[in-house]
Amino acid sequence: MNRVVVTGLGCITPIGSTIDQFTTSLFTGTSGIGPLRPFPEAPSGDPLNPNLRFSRYAEVTDFDPTPFLTSGQIVSSDRSGQFAILAARQAVEHSGLMQAHSPESIAIITGCSTGGRGSEELETGRLYNQNARVHPLTVIRTMSSAGASYIATEHGITGPVLNISTACSSGTHAIGLAFQMVRAGMATAAIAGGHEAPLTLGFLRAWDSMRVVSPTQCRPFSADRDGMTLGEGSASLILESLESAQARNATIYAEIVGFGMSADAHHITQPKAEGAADAIRRALKDAGASLEEVGYINAHGTGTQVNDAVEATAIHQVFGDYAPHIPVSSTKALHGHSIGATGAIEALATVLALHHGQLPVNAGVTEIDPALKLDVILGSFRSATPQLAISNSLAFGGLNAVLALRSYVA
Amino acid sequence: MDDITTRCIAIIAKSKNMSPEAITPDSTFDQLGMDSLDKINVSFEVEDTFEIAIPDESMNSLRTVQDMVDGILRLQQQKTHNEALAEESK
C-alpha cells in the first residue's frame, strides 16, 4: 500500500482564484459572501427583485474565462466546467506531476452534483417561454462529467477518469476515492476535487423554497444561526504516492491517511448523527489513528439549526469526553456552500491548515451555541500543529464522507 | 462588404473571441482555427440570424467565409422560392 501525499493545489473560489489569495482569505477570515447579482432573467421583470427570502450568496465575482480557455472550450462548456478546468490547471502546473507520471497511470475524479445548471436553465427557459431552438452544445455543457473530460483532454490523461455526484459530499467522495486508488496502486497519481456553478435563479429559488437558506448570512455553530449561504467554485488537489513525490523532490502539503464513507439510510434531508459518526469512525480506522490524535475538525457546518446540532452530536458520539477539546471550524461562512465543490474546497482548507500550522476561523458567530459543547475556533485563526485533521461532508440524502489527513514531516 | 458577409464575420469573431478585422471573406475555417464545435456553434447562430436551416452535410463542405456567405444566399433564395410556390398553390 502506497502512502498518499498532496503535492499540488488549485482553486477558483469566492475567496480567491489563486492558492495565494485563498490562503490569505482563509487565515484572515475574509468572507466571499456578498449581495446577489442582478437577475434580468427574473420573471418579476425587476432585476433587483428575484423574489427570494435571502439576499446574499458567495459568488466568484468577475469570472472571465476568455484569457485562459480556447473559444472551443468556452462555447462548449458551462461555468461549472470552466471552474474545473482552471482549478485543475493550477494544481497540475503547481505540482509539476506531468513530467513524472505517464498519462495512462494518472486518474481524474471530480465531484459535481448539478452539472451545467446555468446552461440548462438558460436553454430550457428559452424553450418553454419562447419556443426557442435549443443550442446544439447544450448536452455537452450540461453533463456533470464534462469537467473531468476537459481536464483529461487538456493534459492528455488517459487513465481512469470519472465524476461523482453525491450532492454536498461529491468533492469529498472524489478525493477519498482518488486517495484509495493511489494507495492501492491503481493509479500513480490523481487529480481530484470538485466544481459547481449553481447560482442560477431556478436553483436559488429551489433552495429558497426549502427554507434552509439564511435570510442574513451563514454562521455555523452560532446560537442564532438561521441557515446556509449558497456558493460556487472549484478546488483541485494533486495526489501521488509518497515515493514518487520524494523521488522528484516535490513539495508535500499534507498526507491523506484515511477515508470513511457511510449512508444514514434514514431520510432524504434530515441528517442522522449515527451515520455521520460511522463515517468519522471509518476514516479514523482507515487511518489507523487514535481519537486523541485528532487535533482539528473541518466541519460540514452548514449553519442550519439541524445540521450543526446533528454534526455536533456525531462528534460527541465518536470522541466522547475528548470531543470538547478538539478545535472545530466550518469554513462555509467564508466560501459559502458550493454543493458538489464544497468538500473539495474544505479539503483544500484542511491541507493548508496542516501545512501552515494555522486552523481557520469559524467566521460569523455572534454567540456560540452552548448546547453543542464544541471548541469552535472564534475570532481569528488558531496556531496549532495537529497530528491529524478530519474534513467532514454530510450530504442531503444521508451520504457521508470523511477524509483524514496528517501534517507531513519530512 | 455586403451585409451578409459583415454579419457572418461578426458571428465568427464572437464565437472565436477574435477581432472582426482579422477575418476576411477569403479566410478559411482552418486559418481561423475553427474546430467542429466552433462550426456547430457558428451554424446555429447563422441559422438564427438569417432564419434558414442549414443541411447537416453543408457545414463540412464549406472552406471559406465566402463559401458560407454564398451558401446563405442560396438557402435564402431557395426559401423565398419555396414560399412563393406555397403561396401560388393556395
Q: How many CA atoms lie within 13 A of A139 on its CB side?
A: 3
Question: What's the CATH code of the domain at B70?
Answer: 1.10.1200.10
Phi, psi for residue A9 in degrees, rounded to 5: -135, 145
Confidence at A91, pLDDT banded by 50, 70, 90: very high
- Can you give the residue range of the structural domain that contains B84? 3-88
Selection from A6, A3, A22 nearest residue A14 by Cα: A22
Handedness of CA A59, A212, A177, A406 (dihedral sign): positive
pLDDT (tens digit per residue) in A132-190: 999 999 999 999 999 999 999 999 999 999 999 999 999 999 999 999 999 999 999 99
Mapping DSSP to helix (H, G, I), strand (E, B) and coil, where does residue A235 land?
Answer: strand
Our CA-based measurement puts residue A76 at a distance from the nearest CA of chain B, in whole angstroms, of 7
Mean pLDDT for A48-54 is: 81
Kindly state the greatest CA–CA separation across chain A.
62
Percent share of chain A, pLDDT over 90? 92
Mean pLDDT for B30-36 is: 90
Q: Which three cell numbers stand for residue B46?
A: 447563422
Confidence at A269, pLDDT banded by 50, 70, 90: confident
Q: Which chain B residues have a beta carbon less than 8 Å from that of A137?
A: 37, 40-41
- Model pLDDT, residue B55: 86
- Model pLDDT, residue A48: 72
Contact between chains at A71 and B48 (C-beta distance less than 8 A)? no
Task: Assess whether pLDDT exceeds 80 at residue B60.
Answer: no
* Cβ atoms of residues A294 and A325 within 8 Å: no
A49 or A276: whose pLDDT is higher?
A276
A296 or B40: whose pLDDT is higher?
A296
Q: What angle do CA A335, A91, A118 make, to 5 degrees?
A: 50
pLDDT (tens digit per residue) in A316-356: 999 999 999 999 999 999 999 999 999 999 999 999 999 99
Beta strands in A310-377 (DSSP E): 327-329, 358-359, 375-376
Task: Assess whether pLDDT exceeds 80 at residue A284.
Answer: yes
ipTM over 0.85: no
Mapping DSSP to helix (H, G, I), strand (E, B) and coil, where does residue A10 land?
Answer: strand
- Model pLDDT, residue B1: 79
As a whole number of angstroms, the distance between CA A83 and CA A173 comes to 19
Our CA-based measurement puts residue A117 at a distance from the nearest CA of chain B, in whole angstroms, of 19
Phi, psi for residue A123 in degrees, rounded to 5: -75, -45
Mean pLDDT for A205-214 is: 92
Task: Determine whether A337 is an active site residue.
Answer: yes
Task: Assess whether pLDDT exceeds 90 at residue B36.
Answer: no
Contact between chains at B38 and A71 (C-beta distance less than 8 A)? yes
Q: How many CA atoms lie within 13 A of A294 on its CB side?
A: 33
How many separate domains does chain B show?
A: 1
Selection from B81, B54, B48, B10 nearest residue B65 by Cα: B10
Beta strands in A51-185 (DSSP E): 56-58, 106-111, 161-164
Contact between chains at B48 and A133 (C-beta distance less than 8 A)? yes
